[in-house]
A and B are shown apart, each in its own frame.
Chain A
Amino acid sequence: MLGTVLPMGYGEREASKLVIAPWLYGLSGLGSSIALGSILGAFGSALPLFGDVSMRRFLAGIVAGLVALIYSMNEMGLVRVWNPEFRRQVPQSWSRMFTPRAAAAMYGAGLGVGFATYIPVATYYVPVVWSFVLGKPLWGGVAMSLYGLGGTAPIVWFGQRFDRIEQSAHVASVILPRWTVPMHLLNGIVLAGGGAFLLAANSIDVHY
């Protein structure tokens, strides 16, 4: 998105317009991720799971913890686990078919939900699974809002900071590829820690 949304902002700047395309991308991405979490929670609440609210919380924690631990090994490059994803890019044609601002908002909506495109790290699946099994639209929306925030805030920040296409191209083609391995390792570490936390905390809670 660095190479797609940010140039829309540069175009606005060159035309002496207010630079709002990255903001529209950010707000739209945030909104769609909140909507995804809420919808997952709503669908999950319709599941005929046994038990009361505390049993749902327990199940959500255990399932999300297990998913996190399994995918932590995947991110660390120790085992290969299948990642369900469409492996598609958002349509480049949108930038020609729509106005830059409308296209930026549509790209944000598409990437905010995550599963419609490439999923670079398996960490994404943990809040998705947790939101669904917990079955609470509010908490699902809160958890997934942080996914949207993490994905769009850097783009908005770059949009304010950069004013030339060479800068975003440098980040997209040089800086980010260089940090790919540390990014996966860091995700593996937080997945392992978060997964163990969820498993332990929920097991202790049920024990008492």
Chain B
Amino acid sequence: MHESYRGVVVRELLIDPSLHPTSERPFVNRFSYPATSRRIMLLSTASLAGLVLGVLTPISEASSVAVVGGLALFAGISSLWSP
């Protein structure tokens, strides 16, 4: 296939996903990371919320295991992304 023609085909597929055999594949990476400042803001807000809850909640083995267990649950669900 001529190089320029192949480029046209690829562009066609991106413009009209119905032409693509699996139709959704060109849009696999739909989400991207937000801007750095926005990520820092998200991180700061989450840390602040955790800090306030940590100060207000009396610590015990049960509350520790609830938080750590919650993180473990997240890690487990995310293991679905393991290849």
- Listed in ascending order, the chain A residues whose CB lies under 8 Å from chain B are 1-2, 33, 57, 60-61, 64, 68-69, 72-73, 76-78, 89, 111, 114, 117-121, 123-124, 126-127, 130-131, 134, 136, 139, 142-152, 154-155, 174, 176-183, 185-202, 204-205
Can you pick out 17 interface pairs between chain A and chain B where the beta carbons lie within 8 Å of each other? A76-B43, A78-B36, A121-B78, A121-B81, A123-B71, A131-B68, A146-B76, A150-B72, A151-B79, A178-B28, A181-B29, A188-B39, A188-B46, A193-B53, A195-B47, A196-B49, A197-B67
Contact status A143-B78, CB under 8 Å: no
- Interface on chain B toward A: helix, strand, loop, or mixed SS? helix
Please, which residues of chain B bring their CB within 8 A of the CB of A150? 72-79
- Residues of chain B from 52 to 79 with CB closer than 8 A to chain A in the complex: 52-55, 57-59, 61, 63-65, 67-79
13 extra A-B contacts, CB within 8 A, seeds A57-B64, A118-B82, A190-B70: A57-B59, A60-B64, A136-B61, A148-B76, A177-B28, A177-B29, A179-B31, A181-B32, A181-B33, A190-B71, A192-B43, A194-B67, A198-B50
B27 within 8 A of A: yes
CB-defined contacts of B34 to chain A, threshold 8 Å? 185
Determine the distance from Cα of A95 to Cα of B29 in the docked complex, in whole angstroms.
Answer: 31
Q: Which of A69, A114, A136, A151 has the most C-beta atoms of chain B within 10 angstroms of its own C-beta? A: A151
Residue of chain A at shortest CB distance from B28? A177
Q: Is the CB of B55 within 8 A of A2?
A: no
| Dominant SS among interface residues on chain A | helix
**A-B pairs under 8 A by CB, number:** 208
Q: Is the CB of B78 within 8 A of A198?
A: no
Q: B: which residues have CB within 8 A of A? A: 22, 24-25, 27-34, 36, 39-40, 42-43, 46-55, 57-59, 61, 63-65, 67-83
Q: 10 tightest CB-CB pairs across the interface, nearest first?
A: A150-B76, A200-B54, A196-B50, A193-B50, A201-B54, A151-B76, A192-B46, A127-B72, A123-B75, A197-B50
